[in-house]
Amino acid sequence: MYFIHERLKSKLRAFLYGAGAFIFSWLLGTFLMVAVIPPIPILKGLRSFEVTTSLITYLLLWVSSTYLK
């Protein structure tokens, strides 16, 4: 958010870019887990889907915030 705000000089637009990037990466991470990526045998149990989805989401959020700046 800081780097996006530095580039745009608008708190509202920086927030909207960050929130949009988060929602997009969350949906894309969920789609990848459901349709593309096979189950990871290392992560077992009831929470493996949520953990893997959140890891993908955070990775995509980091990539989007890096390239939006």
3 state SS of 35: helix
Domain assignment of residue 45, yes or no: yes
Q: Please state, in angstroms and rounded to a whole number, the distance separating the CA atoms of residues 37 and 27.
A: 14
Domain assignment of residue 8, yes or no: no
Domain assignment of residue 47, yes or no: yes
Which pLDDT does position 39 carry in this prediction?
A: 67
Domain assignment of residue 35, yes or no: yes
Domain housing 59:
21-68
Domain assignment of residue 5, yes or no: no
pTM as predicted: 0.58
Q: Based on the number of CB atoms within 10 Å of its own CB, is 30 exposed (0-12), middle (13-18) or buried (19 or more)?
A: middle
The share of the chain scoring above pLDDT 90, in percent, equals 0
Domain count, the chain: 1
Tokens describing residue 28: 């894309």
Q: Are 65 and 21 in contact (CB under 8 A)?
A: yes
